[in-house]
Amino acid sequence: MGVHDEFAGVIGRDWRDSTPAWPRRPEAPPGAPNVVFIVLDDVGYAQLGCYGSVITTPNIDALAVSGVRLANFHTAALCSPTRSCLLTGRNHHTNGMGRVADLAMGYPGYSGEVPFENGFLSEILRAEGYSTYAIGKWHLTPDDETHMAADRSTWPLGRGFDRWYGFHGGETHQFVPTLYCDNHSVQPPRTLAEGYHLTEDLVDHAIEYLGDLRNADGDQPFFLYFCTGACHSPHHAPSEWIERYRGVFDAGWDALREEILERQLASGILPRGTELSPRPPWVPAWDELTPEDQKVAARFMECFAGFLSHTDAEIGRLLAYLEESGDADNTLIVLASDNGASAEGGATGSINDVRMVNRDPVDRRELRERIDELGGPTVHNNYPWGWTMAGNTPFKRWKREVHEGGVADPCIVRWPARFAGDAGEIRHQFAHAIDVFPTVLELAGIDPPAEIRTQPQSPIEGTSFAYLLGDGGAAAAGRHVTQHFEMFGSRAIYHDGWKAVTFKPLGPTGAGPNTYAAPFDDDVWELYHVAEDLSEVHDLAAQQPERVHAMVERWWEEARKYHVLPLDNRVLYTILNPRPNRVRERSRYRYRPHGAPVPETVAADVRNRSHEITVSIDVPAGPEPQGVLLAIGCVLGGWSLHVLDGRLRYVHNLYGKQLDVIASNTPIGSGGHTVGFRYERTTDDGGVGALLLDGDVVAEGAIERFTPTRYNNTGAGLTCGYELGPAVGEGYEAPFRFTGTIREAVVEVRGAAPPDPLAEFERIMSEQ
């Protein structure tokens, strides 16, 4: 009870004329369900078995059999924006997530942080007596606030969750992730050699948290926000799961699309008469590929399928626990994906997305040579966009865009205690991610609060679809009549069965201030009667220009209302003018051997920049010293200064493509020493490195190409005294902790870092 809470008792001079009273404890309404959100990542409309896929997802399919499938559910086309919609019931621009937080701008709709006036479901439910848990991917905190010195107000515990176990950012290594527990960094509980995989770990922690709750309280309801890293790249899965799909996709993506469409029509998930959108000209026909390239492409898809089926099995383990605990019957489950299937693997597929942002894409020859590594820890695999097209069957385009391929997604809702009679049914009314929040509150019998912790709340913008879930839901008129879309200038408006949409290429298109895409007023709008043409095949814009004009005007009205403006596709400007960062860049950085990695965004920036690392160490008498002194990254890219077999060694890993090793033959004896590494940039791309022992150069070597833009996309930051893993170099295994004592590691940088804003933009986009 706070000092300003109204006291219901009597306070006299002493206990004789006083009456005690206790404040009301928060309690959920009678019969209020437990709530579980299961949020998949980059899983397209057609990639679950119950939405037509050939990929085996029996546990998710069982949810559909016992629940209701929404066949016309929509998202915001990107990860963070959609997640903000699910948790607040407001549109993504209203949440300041008009684009990803990494590309924030100084406008309300693009600030990169969800304002507190848009309360999270977790904040509301906790105040109503729920325990609240977040597990897995967060990605609602800007990069520059994900380190141990950061303000935690945008972390899960700052937004209403009691516990969190997961990762920041858009992605992480599935075998050796960068993890956080509550408000601090932690290491995975097992190693890669011990069979660790992130999805299994996330389910372990979800069961642990729910088990802890039930051990203490058998009745308190809970909200579990469970977000897998799957199936965002890297498509890492245990090898036995990948092998289950050997040969399944050999017929290619064109044949797969036809098969999926037949399954969708037969199941009723698509209305009869729905047509398959044409294969776009930039996606090659499967038969145009050579047999060698078909083999590689098929293996990429086998990895994705194994990843998704493994995830389904782990979701099944979570669902089985709910049965065992007795909670399943009164648990409201909402399973959805955050956007359409991803095309970020490009035309041929990728073995390390960071290769693209360093302007060194993989070629077909290298893909053929490294085919056996796909799905494993040494690559960051992402399939070719032909599979993206198939994963979004029957729709056009994909993630990041607002044609149906980017914004139409699977969504399953199940609550056995309330809607058992509607099990297995399909609903075709339009719905959006902002509708989930008001639906949960209505079903739980909870009114949206006017204030949360004295902060007045903004209006809810979603429309509850609870009316769809009960008797008569199939025949009910849709209540979500109008919805706008916008992502990086691509725009769309849905209204009463019609959709107008325009695609905007990502700028810039060249050098100079006037080379961005054409003015927004010149955008060409398409028009589809999606009530009859869900796959956007028949463009009616030429036949109905008046309707197009009215729809576009409606879009502008919605844009003004929901903070979409100003439209701005000046991505280079955004990168060169980032949001203010409290951690200032400096020329000298000091590190000591503490546990938490320092994110690359706030670590010493030595990328292709002259610099010197100096480490003060104490080496005990006895065995030769071993271990990491200072490192950043992992097997997918980075560098490591370490001691191997008693001798100083430096490895530069060029995004998993090439290792440059500089090794000393001079033993490091016992006692106190100063060791280090010096790099002099001598060309546009590279330079010369030298190892130093007590001030003397003991080895030198060329590094022809020093990483220019980004080491890797897994979140593996800078560490002192160990590596996160998998190891940056060869000949040792992470964490490879230093066996001596590190007193201090100092990094000094000289000169400005070579700018590459276009590559940085592509890096940020590849992570979403």
Short-list 39, 448, 437, 443, CA closest to 225 = 39
Listed residue (247, 227, 242) closest to 140, CA to CA: 227
- Whether the CB-CB separation of 91 and 81 falls below 8 Å is answered with no
Of the listed 50, 74, 79, 310, which one is catalytic? 79
Nearest to 62 by CA among 390, 244, 306, 313: 313
Written as six digits, the tokens of 454 are 């004295």
C-beta neighbour count of 2 within 10 angstroms = 5
Give the CA distances from residue 76 to residues 73, 125, 485, in Å, rounded to whole numbers and listed in that order.
11, 24, 7
In the three-class reduction of DSSP (H, G, I as helix; E, B as strand; rest coil), residue 87 is classed as: helix
User: 139, 168, 232, 428: which one is catalytic?
Assistant: 139
**In what helix (H) or strand (E) does residue 680 lie, and over which residues does it extend?**
strand 671-681
String of DSSP letters for 396-459: SS-TTS-SHHHHEEEEEEE-HHHHGGGTTEEE-S-EEGGGHHHHHHHHHT-PPPSEETTEEPPP
Report the phi/psi class of residue 319: left, alpha or beta, with left for phi > 0 and alpha for psi in -120 to 50: alpha
CA distances from 347 to 254, 281, 363 (A): 14, 12, 11
Q: Which segments within 562-670 are labelled E, that is strand? A: 588-591, 611-619, 627-634, 637-644, 647-654, 658-667
Strand bridging mode 34-40 / 331-337: parallel
Name, in order, each residue with C-beta under 8 angstroms of 216's C-beta and a sequence gap of 6 or more: none
Among residues 162, 161, 163, 130, which one has the least CA distance to residue 26? 130
Query: What is the identity of the amino acid at 85?
Result: C
Distances (CA, A) of 346 to 342, 355, 611: 9, 12, 34
Does the annotation count 79 as an active-site position?
yes
Structure tokens, 710: 């980004």
Q: CA 583, CA 594: separation in Å to the nearest integer?
A: 19
**Tokens 């695609």 belong to residue:** 503
Q: Which residues are catalytic?
A: 79, 139
